Structure 1
Amino acid sequence: MAKRNLLICFDAFGTLFKPKRPIAQQYGEVARGLGLSGFTDEQVSKSFKAAFKHETKENPNFGKSNGLNSTTWWTNIIQNTFNPLVGPSPTLTQHLAPALLYRFSSEEAYNLLPDVLPLLQDLRTHPPHGIDRIAVGVITNSDDRVPSVLTSLGLRISPLTYGSGGVKAKTGMGEGNDVDFTVMSYDVGFEKPDRRMFGAAEEMLASLPVAVGTEPGSWVKVFVGDEFEKDVVGAQEAGWLGVLLREAASGVPDGLKEVDERVAGALLRSLRGSGDAVSISSFSTLAKALGVVPEPDRSSP
Structure 2
Amino acid sequence: MQGPLRWVLWDVKDTLLKVRSSVGKQYCKEAERRGLSLNTAEVEAAFHQAYRHYFSHYPNYGVTQGLDGQIWWTKVVKDTFSKCGVQDPGLLNTMAQNLYQDFCSSENWEVFPDSKAALESCSSLGLKMGVVSNFDSRLEGILRLCGLLHHFSFVVTSEQAGVAKPDPAIFQQALHKCGVPAASVAHIGDHYVYDYVASRSLGIHGYLLDRHNKHCYADIPPEHRLTSLHELPSRLQQHMN
- Structure 2 length-normalised TM: 0.90
User: Of residues 163, 168, 193 in structure 2, which corresponds to 1:190?
Assistant: 163
1:125-176 deviations in Å (ceiling 9; x for gaps): 3x1xxxxx52201101111111111111111x2xxxxxxxxxxxxxxxxxxx
1:155-204 deviations in Å (ceiling 9; x for gaps): 1x2xxxxxxxxxxxxxxxxxxx3011111111221111111111010111
Q: 1:57 to 1:246 in 2, by over 3 A?
A: closer
Aligned-partner SS, 1:86: coil
User: Of residues 139, 146, 149 in structure 2, which corresponds to 1:153?
Assistant: 146
Aligned length: 235
The one-letter code of the counterpart of 1:53 is R
For 1:55 and 1:61, locate their aligned partners in 2 and report how far apart those are by CA, in whole Å: 9
The one-letter code of the counterpart of 1:134 is L
Q: 1:217 to 1:189 in 2, by over 3 A?
A: closer
1:290: Cα distance to partner?
3.2
1:79-112 deviations in Å (ceiling 9; x for gaps): 0000121331221202x11221122112111101
The one-letter code of the counterpart of 1:23 is V
Aligned-partner SS, 1:8: strand
Query: In the alignment, is residue 227 of structure 1 matched against residue 191 of structure 2?
Result: yes
The answer to whether the 8 Å contact 1:140/1:183 transfers is yes
For 1:23 and 1:232, locate their aligned partners in 2 and report how far apart those are by CA, in whole Å: 26
For 1:231 and 1:41, locate their aligned partners in 2 and report how far apart those are by CA, in whole Å: 31
- Runs of at least 5 residues in structure 2 that lack an aligned partner in the other structure: none
Query: In the alignment, is residue 120 of structure 1 matched against residue 108 of structure 2?
Result: no
Aligned-partner SS, 2:208: strand
Query: In the alignment, is residue 253 of structure 1 matched against residue 198 of structure 2?
Result: no
Residue in structure 2 matched with residue 170 of structure 1 by the alignment: none
Identity across matched positions, percent: 26
Aligned-partner SS, 2:147: coil
Q: 1:181 to 1:282 in 2, by over 3 A?
A: same
Residue in structure 2 matched with residue 137 of structure 1 by the alignment: 130
Query: In the alignment, is residue 98 of structure 1 matched against residue 62 of structure 2?
Result: no
Q: 1:217 to 1:11 in 2, by over 3 A?
A: closer
- Runs of at least 5 residues in structure 1 that lack an aligned partner in the other structure: 128-132, 158-176, 207-215, 260-277, 293-301
Cα RMSD, aligned residues only: 2.0
User: Of residues 200, 206, 221 in structure 1, which corresponds to 2:173?
Assistant: 200
The answer to whether the 8 Å contact 2:15/2:189 transfers is yes
The answer to whether the 8 Å contact 1:8/1:221 transfers is yes
Aligned-partner SS, 1:193: coil
Residue in structure 2 matched with residue 88 of structure 1 by the alignment: 87
User: Of residues 200, 225, 238 in structure 2, which corresponds to 1:279?
Assistant: 225
1:250: Cα distance to partner?
4.2
Where is the helix percentage greater, Structure 1 or Structure 2? Answer: 2
Residue in structure 1 matched with residue 204 of structure 2 by the alignment: 240
The answer to whether the 8 Å contact 2:5/2:236 transfers is no
The one-letter code of the counterpart of 1:230 is Y
1:14-67 deviations in Å (ceiling 9; x for gaps): 111101111122111222222122x31111111111111111223221120211
Q: 1:87 to 1:199 in 2, by over 3 A?
A: same
Residue in structure 1 matched with residue 28 of structure 2 by the alignment: 28
Q: 1:4 to 1:102 in 2, by over 3 A?
A: same
The one-letter code of the counterpart of 1:245 is L
Q: 1:58 to 1:203 in 2, by over 3 A?
A: same
1:251: Cα distance to partner?
2.4
For 1:205 and 1:289, locate their aligned partners in 2 and report how far apart those are by CA, in whole Å: 20
The answer to whether the 8 Å contact 1:138/1:182 transfers is yes
- Structure 1 length-normalised TM: 0.73
The answer to whether the 8 Å contact 1:61/1:185 transfers is yes
Q: Which has the higher contact order (CA 8 A, sep 6+)?
A: 2
Residue in structure 2 matched with residue 54 of structure 1 by the alignment: 53
